[in-house]
Amino acid sequence: MKKFLPIFLFLVIVIPVLITPVTVSAATNVYDNDWVGWQAAVGGTYITEDFSDATLNPGVSVISDNGYVIGGLWWDRVDDGDWGDYGTTTWTFASPIYAWGGTFDAYNPGGPGGSIKVTYIDGTSVEVGTIPNTTQGTFWGFVSDEPFIQVHLEDPALVPYACETYEMDNMVYSLAQGVQITLLPPPDGNTFWIEALPEPTMPKIVAKAELVGIAPTPPLTVTEFVWKAKIQYTDHGRNDSETFGPRSMLGETWTSWTPDFKNIIMGGEMDIEVSVNIVGKLYQDKISFHIRGREPGKDIVKNTLGKLILQVICYKESYPKWHQFDDSGLPIFGPPSGFGLMQLDPPSSSVQIWSWLANVQEGRSRWQEKVAMSKTYEKRIRKANSDQKVNNLSREQEERQAAYLYRGGCWVGGEFQYYYIWNRTSKQWEVNPNAEPTSVTYADDAMNIREAVSLGNPPEGW
């Protein structure tokens, strides 16, 4: 095997997404028998596949009709079909590259043939040039001003009834110039998790920026990195978003950034972006991932709710029982606008969608509002019937009416209808015949569950 000068390797076991500077037009420079010139053009930063075995470098793959690795070389035949079997070869790179080449011998294996046409592909095909059939163990390569992910080799059909058999050693390529973000720690299947205990906590995410393929590498002490992040949640008609940053500063410490979520608890889809300006060129990268929520467990939820009637309301509202999130970590939703354990309909903030604790606390607060609403109603009835002694609602009646109000209630003739009305004839509280039927059923069922649990006969899933 022919060995070239020392190379530089980049190994990143994370999720890379590379964006390079926008160019006005694509241009390529071909380096035929000019290894030194190609090296200089890539700043000495490249990766070599030396074909020492059949296992290619990570991120490199090939589809070839005739080619294979043998004896430390790549042996291949390209043919347009007029000589024998049709054959082409396509090299694919997981991360975009901007330069490619190798040491070719197109003359000796089988004699000079039809030469090799080289095209690079990144959405569209761009013809680069032709490796001559007279090439004998010399370097041929090219450098482009736009990134690409494939190099295609074929017979240019310059010579009738001819193919080209060739050998290639030390295939070299250089990653596209730019800045690349990696995440530490790597997400769990592209997902970070809001931890539930001891209280909801956003994940700690470290984003690291690495300059790739830029030569000479500028001093980081005078390089400005600008970071920003955004979380969005748009399911079920929501349009929630939170932005973090931009944060900008010079220096090597700013190659890493941890978004400060402050007191925000929110999941959904998150993007982190970084940009860096180097000698008038703006390089950018963005990485996207999910943020989902974990469950606290029903015992924690029950202890947090406290009162049995509140536990009953949570049991009735949540489905699956005692769950804030579904199996994928997305918030439980119930039409028309309910979210989470207490089915807040609607929630007053996105935090109540993604924090089980905020959801439960808001549900408890809304319950207390319903109890207060019921007491205010009692006072109004008592004042309207001042000539009679209007009894206080019992604890059981008060909780039943509050459960009715939690479900919704209704308006009839411009007046809100409560579960109970005062009967002046019987001088007692009675079920309101105009009360909303579904809410009445909800309240009655809640009180039946409350009694069953008190008697040690809880419903399934309690």
In 20-72, DSSP assigns E strands to 28-32, 47-49, 60-64, 68-70
Task: State the pLDDT at residue 11.
Answer: 25
Looking at the fold, whether 320 and 450 belong to one and the same domain comes out as yes
Quick one: which H or E segment has residue 395? Answer: helix 395-407
Scan for tokens 């010139």, then name that residue. Answer: 37
With respect to residue 19, please indicate whether it lies within any of the assigned structural domains: no
Q: Is the dihedral of CA 38, 40, 41, 46 positive or negative?
A: positive
Q: Is 369 helix (H, G, I), strand (E, B) or coil?
A: helix
For strands 136-154 and 28-32, give the pairing: antiparallel
73 Cβ contact list (under 8 Å, min separation 6): 1, 51, 167, 168, 169
Domain boundary among 141, 176, 211: 176
pLDDT tens track for 270-292: 999 999 887 777 888 899 999 99
Looking at the fold, whether 242 and 387 belong to one and the same domain comes out as no
Looking at the fold, whether 361 and 249 belong to one and the same domain comes out as no
The answer to whether the CB of 342 falls within 8 A of the CB of 314 is: yes
Task: State the pLDDT at residue 1.
Answer: 39
d(CA 253, CA 249): 9
Domain count, the chain: 3
With respect to residue 430, please indicate whether it lies within any of the assigned structural domains: yes
Looking at the fold, whether 140 and 77 belong to one and the same domain comes out as yes
CATH of the domain at 104: 2.60.120.430
Scan for tokens 């909800």, then name that residue. Answer: 442
With respect to residue 1, please indicate whether it lies within any of the assigned structural domains: no
Task: State the pLDDT at residue 86.
Answer: 86
Looking at the fold, whether 264 and 315 belong to one and the same domain comes out as no
Listed as ranges, residues in the chain with pLDDT below 50 are 1-25
The end-to-end CA distance of the chain, in Å, is: 71
323 Cβ contact list (under 8 Å, min separation 6): 295, 332, 341
Domain boundary among 245, 261, 293: 293
Range of the domain at 91: 27-176
Closest by CA position to 313, among listed 431, 460, 410, 442? 442
Looking at the fold, whether 103 and 195 belong to one and the same domain comes out as no
pTM of the complete model? 0.69
Domain boundary among 278, 293, 308: 293
d(CA 175, CA 148): 9
Looking at the fold, whether 155 and 197 belong to one and the same domain comes out as no
Q: Which two tokens stand for residue 405?
A: 């109000």
The answer to whether the CB of 435 falls within 8 A of the CB of 419 is: yes
Give the single-character DSSP code of 245: E
pLDDT tens track for 403-435: 999 999 999 999 999 999 999 999 999 999 999
In 71-122, DSSP assigns E strands to 73-78, 89-105, 116-122
d(CA 23, CA 33): 28
